[in-house]
Amino acid sequence: METEIKLRVEDLDHARQQLLDHGFKILHPRVFERNLIFDTPDRSLRNSRRLLRLREAGGAVTLTFKGASEAGKHKSREEREVHPDNFDNMQTILERLGYQITFRYDKYRTEFHRPDSHGIATIDETPAGTFMELEGPAEWIDRTAAALGYRESDYILASYATLYTAASAKSEPAAIVPALPPEL
């Protein structure tokens, strides 16, 4: 079961420093991710609030199934992952099985972990904004968010697809499409 929230980040450098000041260490340095969301032609996965994602990040490939979210202040849902060895081959297999790419999103992600905790914090830099994700036990999420100065009203449960769609509705479509800045 995956339990997480997103938090909007206004100042990337401040957010990184805040995590370091609270004892987090970089678990995985900043890496570019490409993500493809697949669905059936009739959108049966989306209609049942499930997700099938193929991700490539730093040479690692992950195929993820996510079940429907449970109601609550955190986003909690079943998550199953496998690690195919080739992104393009896995994409072809999914397409041959009748799945179609319904959404693509790219981002840069940095993962942080505090040695004495059971959660992960990530900073995701996307064309729709910068977000911190806190993933772990619900109590850990609440304590960590509060320690970082966030309130429950700041919790975002929306998917990146929803956030991208909302951002593109507020701006010219071209504002969402450009490539992200080169790696630092």
Task: Spell out the domain ranges in the chain.
Answer: 2-175
How would you label 142-167 residue by residue, b for 16+ Cβ within 10 Å and e otherwise? bebbeebebeeeebbeebbbebbeee
The CA distance from 57 to 66, in Å, is: 18
In eight-state DSSP terms, residue 156 is B
177, pLDDT greater than 80: no
CA triple 137-138-139, angle to 5 deg: 95
Helix (H, G, I), strand (E, B) or coil at 12: helix
pLDDT of 94-130, one tens digit each? 999 999 999 999 999 999 999 988 999 999 999 999 9
CATH number of the structural domain 2-175: 2.40.320.10
Q: What sections of the chain are H helices per DSSP?
A: 12-21, 44-47, 87-96, 138-147, 160-170
pTM confidence score: 0.88
pLDDT for residue 171 = 66
Token pair 């956030």: residue? 163
Give the tens place of pLDDT for each residue, 35-63.
999 999 999 999 999 999 999 999 999 99
pLDDT digits (tens, 9 = 90+) for 149-158: 999 999 999 9
Residue whose C-alpha is closest to residue 35's, from 112, 136, 121, 124: 124
